[in-house]
Amino acid sequence: MLNDKIEEALNAQFNAELYSSYLYLSMAAYYHSANLAGFAHWMRIQAQEELFHAMKFYDFINERGGRVTLKPIEGPPTDWESPNAPLEHTYQHEIKVTGLINELVNLAVEEKDHATNNFLQWFVKEQVEEEASASGALQKLKLSGDAGNGLFMLDNELGSRIPLFTFPVKSSN
């Protein structure tokens, strides 16, 4: 059973993961409008992963006898000043999310909720990868410059990122 403080904090993180998904989908839309289909593809997968994170919180809250509550999701930015900017924003955002996960772990320890602490350790590890992935893409973009051949080559590379899952294709019947 979850205590009220933990239930509220897990629901807040559920909402934060949905916001992350919304943010990255907004970045995908920005890249689509800039004709950078590979960058857009990378961001769509990023958005998909955040939805997966959100659903992990959803399932855990339910499993522990808590109540999932859906709150409004903040509107993300819709425009960025250059192809570099969303990746820089992604990296900074992931650092912020790491801080939120760490605060949740601190709360679980304070409340002596070992099951929640154990659940959160998956996210502690995941955040190391999330920061590294965003930082890696950003570094490559800085090396290639944000115009010309380098940008085109990186667009091709980012376009090969493998999705977590594929959505069903609409039937032709």
User: Which residues of this chain interact with ligand FEO, rule CB under 6 A?
Assistant: 17, 20, 50, 53, 94, 97, 130
Residue with Cβ nearer ligand FEO (15 or 40): 15
Residue with Cβ nearer ligand FEO (53 or 89): 53
What span, in angstroms and rounded, lies between the C-alpha atoms of 135 and 87? 8
User: Which residue's C-beta sits nearest to ligand FEO?
Assistant: 53
Shortest reach from residue 49's CB to ligand FEO, in Å: 7
Residue with Cβ nearer ligand FEO (104 or 151): 104
Residue with Cβ nearer ligand FEO (100 or 144): 100
Residue with Cβ nearer ligand FEO (94 or 155): 94
Shortest reach from residue 132's CB to ligand FEO, in Å: 11
3-state secondary structure the chain: CCCHHHHHHHHHHHHHHHHHHHHHHHHHHHHHHCCCHHHHHHHHHHHHHHHHHHHHHHHHHHHCCCCCCCCCCCCCCCCCCCCHHHHHHHHHHHHHHHHHHHHHHHHHHHCCCHHHHHHHHHHHHHHHHHHHHHHHHHHHHHHHCCCCHHHHHHHHHHCCCCCCCCCCCCCCC
Shortest reach from residue 173's CB to ligand FEO, in Å: 37
Shortest reach from residue 130's CB to ligand FEO, in Å: 4
Shortest reach from residue 20's CB to ligand FEO, in Å: 5
